[in-house]
Amino acid sequence: MSAFGSLLRPILFRIDPEVAHGLSIKVLSSGLHPSVRPDRDPRLSRKLFGLDFANPLGIAAGLDKNAEVPDALLRLGFGFVEIGTITPRPQPGNPKPRLFRLVEDHGVINRLGFNNEGHAAARQRLEARRGKRGLVGVNIGANKDATDRIADYVAGIETFADIASYFTVNVSSPNTPGLRDLQAKGALDELLSRVLEARDAQARRVPVLLKIAPDMDEAGLADVAEVALARKIDGVIVSNTTISRPKLVDAATAKETGGLSGRPLFRLSTIQLARFRRLVGPDLPLIGVGGIESAETAFAKIAAGADLVQLYSGFVYGGPGLPASILAGLSRILDRRGIPSIADAVGIETEKWASEAP
């Protein structure tokens, strides 16, 4: 952790987690945080679905819900930033309190419920950065009270098609009732059909990714893989938060409802990632998410089958120096193991992870 992060963390951890999150966004937007952008190692670069990634490390959706600080995050060293989840209309989300730290477990439970300022506000901010360098994906979702949820995803495509680096179709949050039902085979096929039709009608072809939950059984995972391959989507993100509760030190907080992320999610999400890689083969780009907090955990995701990785909860605990630390560590791992590039590490331990019990 950087000296700045070491000073800031005790302050943030004394206050309500959601208030602390808002304060962190203000610090990032103010530019008061130090620049810790690492030197670029060309061995860490990737070219996937038509985009050039300086490195494989991204920030997952949820941190910058309203596109307030994508450039500040890119300056910390992230190879890409995903904003959102954004819904067509602003919505307050679920009642507070709805965000909980499990400090001893390095975990977070949230039941935020897609709280965001809506398409118009996010688009205005992204317009203001038009022409700047850096990959910024847009994670799209549906309003809680939508009568046609698929239409909300289509609206997201239409709103941001000229400005998003890529789209993520989020059907895996556990905090919007019924949303995960869109992962079922028939519903998912209809969703992707309409979303891709909307994408293909635009002047600019933007990659479309799907973000899935870690809690599916083998049959559900196979159904998603079948639809993803048949619809020829550009990539899949594995995974969102889990509704399961592994053994946790903070047993009291663990009783809160919502999605669990951070260190306790690492094993489950990595196993599901490897199993999904085994189902889809080597060519479909996958992004691994869940419990990344170090170079070692990032490399494990890549070895399990991820082309790129994202973190969020790890950033809460690791602070602004974490991206540079992870990237430097990945370079050292390549040196130590004699691997020519990070692309050569993708999937080298898929079978090992896929055979593990969650």
**pLDDT in the model for residue 37:** 65
**pLDDT in the model for residue 119:** 98
**Mean pLDDT, rounded, of the chain:** 94
Contact call for residues 113 and 98 (beta carbons, < 8 A): yes
Q: Left, alpha or beta for 281 (phi > 0: left; psi -120 to 50: alpha)?
A: left
Tokens of 242: 């889990």
Helix (H) or strand (E) holding 47: strand 46-48
Instruction: Tell whether the model's pLDDT for residue 175 goes beyond 90.
Output: no
Per-residue model confidence as pLDDT tens digits over 198-253: 999 999 999 999 999 999 999 999 999 999 999 999 999 999 999 999 999 999 99
**pLDDT in the model for residue 246:** 93
Instruction: Tell whether the model's pLDDT for residue 146 goes beyond 70.
Output: yes
Per-residue model confidence as pLDDT tens digits over 20-40: 989 889 888 887 766 666 679
Residue 346 pLDDT level (bands cut at 50, 70, 90): very high
Instruction: Tell whether the model's pLDDT for residue 322 goes beyond 70.
Output: yes
Average pLDDT over residues 67-88: 96
The number of residues in the chain equals 358
Whole-model pTM: value is: 0.95
Residue 256 pLDDT level (bands cut at 50, 70, 90): very high
For strands 259-262 and 107-110, give the pairing: antiparallel
Share of the chain above pLDDT 90, in %: 87
Burial class (CB in 10 A: 0-12, 13-18, 19+), 211: buried
Helix (H) or strand (E) holding 280: helix 266-280
**pLDDT in the model for residue 36:** 63
Instruction: Tell whether the model's pLDDT for residue 310 goes beyond 80.
Output: yes
For strands 259-262 and 235-238, give the pairing: unpaired
Instruction: Tell whether the model's pLDDT for residue 5 goes beyond 80.
Output: no
CA-based end-to-end distance of the chain: 30
**pLDDT in the model for residue 3:** 45
**pLDDT in the model for residue 139:** 98
**pLDDT in the model for residue 30:** 83
The residues carrying an active-site annotation are 173
